[in-house]
Amino acid sequence: MKSGQLNILLEKSSALFKKFGVKALTLDAVARQLGMSKKTIYQLVANKSELVKLSMKFYLQHEREHLESIIKPSKNSVEELIEIVSYFYHQVHEFNVATLIDLQKYYPETWDMYTEYRYHYVLGKIVANLENGVAQGVYRKDLDTDIVARIYIGSFELLSNQDLFPSQKYVFVDTYREYLKYHLRGIASVKGLKLIEQHNLFKS
């Protein structure tokens, strides 16, 4: 029972942190949003720091499972990457850039978990996709797969940069959409471009 309650708490808390940021969302606010007493939350986690850390761990585990389900049945590297970027694109529809800023500034242990996951697991998947795509002829033959994969992984922090894209002027999902179009068309061969154009990837 406690395990089930904890999973519900982590699933819903991760969505709340993503939408509202971490610093601004108190445990009182989490309790109100979830219709759960603060006492119950304290029976499941010791404090807010633990809730943030466990919520991130829960979120990344489910994301990993989803990515693995995408990668296995894919027809080719373009199809695979389109499904991957489509997943990430829909994940950021209610993303608040303050979340990354808050984690980096106030929750370094959770931030380290997030960056470890992205710069090892996700980076490895993107490199493999690019290498396979070059071999299949759907990506440019002159592609430096390691550099391009790192640019792709680093794009999230770039697009979250408040000096370049202040949230008062730019909606994150819009800047992310433009970057993804730029990325896909930049890596694709003529053959790959034809496959990309068959998808209405960014239609809502």
Q: pLDDT tens for residues 184-204?
A: 999 999 999 998 988 877 664
C-beta contacts of 102-108 below 8 A and 24+ residues apart: 102/21, 102/22, 102/23, 102/24, 103/22, 103/52, 103/56, 105/23, 106/22, 106/23, 107/22, 107/49, 107/52, 107/53
Inside any domain, residue 192: yes
Range of the domain at 161: 48-197
The SS3 call for residue 188 is: strand
Element (H, E) at 17: helix 2-20
Q: Does residue 69 lie within any of the structural domains?
A: yes
0.75 exceeded by pTM: yes
Domain membership of residue 6 (yes or no) is: no
Residue 23 lies in a domain: no
Residue 90 lies in a domain: yes
* 51-55, 122-126, 194-198: the lowest-pLDDT one: 194-198
Residue 31 falls inside a structural domain:
no
**Contact of 192 with 78, CB cutoff 8 Å:** yes
Q: What is the mean pLDDT of residues 148-159?
A: 93
| Predicted confidence band of residue 74 (pLDDT cuts 50, 70, 90) | low
Return the pLDDT at 73.
64
Q: CATH number, domain at 129?
A: 1.10.357.10
Number of domains in the chain: 1
Residue 153 covered by a domain: yes
Percentage, residues of the chain above pLDDT 70: 97
